Amino acid sequence: MKSKLFIMAALCAIAFKSNAQTEKGKFLLGGSVNFSTSNNENENPAKRTTFGIAPRVGYFVSDNWAVGTTLNYSMSKTKGSIQGEMTYIGYQSINYGISPFVRYYTRIADNFKFFGDFNVNAIRGSQKEVDEHGEVGITTYKSTRYSTAISPGLAFFPAKKWAIEFQFPLLSYSKQKETSQIAERPSFKNDAFTFGLSSFNPAIGVNYHF
C-alpha cells in the first residue's frame, strides 16, 4: 500500500513539475545562435560566412499560453573573384528585426511538451560591397521583409527550469523587397508561400523558465 502511494506521489510530483514550468505568471528567456561557413569551388569560387543571434523573451499570460518577442540579427559576408576578368567581388549583408509570437504548450510525456507557435516577422537589411582588402564600401541594396508563420515544436525539460526546443516552420508566408541603391542595377520584389513538409528547415534553441 505504501509503495503504491509513493509511486502515485512521485507521478504527481513529475506532472506538477512539468506543468509548473509553463504556468501563469512564469517567464521564459532564451534564443538561438548560429554560425556557418561554405566554399563554392565552381568557375567563380567564393567563400561565405554567416553569423546570427536571436534572443527571445516571453511571459505566460495563463497556464501553457505564452506571448513574447524575438529579436533577430544576422550578418553574412561573401568574397570571391570572377576568374575570367580577374575582378574581385564581395559583399556584406546585415539584417535585423523583431518577431512577436504567441505560443501554446501541451504535455505529451514526462518532461516533454508539444507546442504550437504563431509569429510575425519584420526585418530590415542592407548589402554593401567589400573590396579585396576586406574594407566595406558603398551600399548596393536595402531590403525589407515581412512574414508570418505557424511553427510547431517539441520542448524537452532536462532540468527544472531549462528547456531544449526543436522547432520547424510548418506554414509561412513572406513578402520581400530589395531596393537597388545603384542606378544600373534592378530592384526586386518577391512573395512566397511555404509548406514546411516541402521545405524542412528545423531549428534548435534553449529557454530558461522562471
What tens digit of pLDDT does each residue of 154-194 get? 999 998 889 999 888 888 999 999 999 988 888 989 998 88
| Of 54-68, 126-140, 151-165, 178-192, minimum mean pLDDT range | 126-140
Q: The CATH number of the domain where 166 resides is what?
A: 2.40.160.20
Count how many domains the chain has.
Answer: 1
The full DSSP string for 75-137 is EEEEEEEETTTTEEEEEEEEEEEEEEEEEEEEEEETTEEEEEEEEEEEEEEEEEEE-TTS-EE
Average the pLDDT over 144-160 and give the result. Answer: 92
Give the range of the structural domain holding residue 107, as residue numbers without chain letter.
2-209
Supply the pLDDT for residue 176. Answer: 92
User: The whole model's pTM is what?
Assistant: 0.76
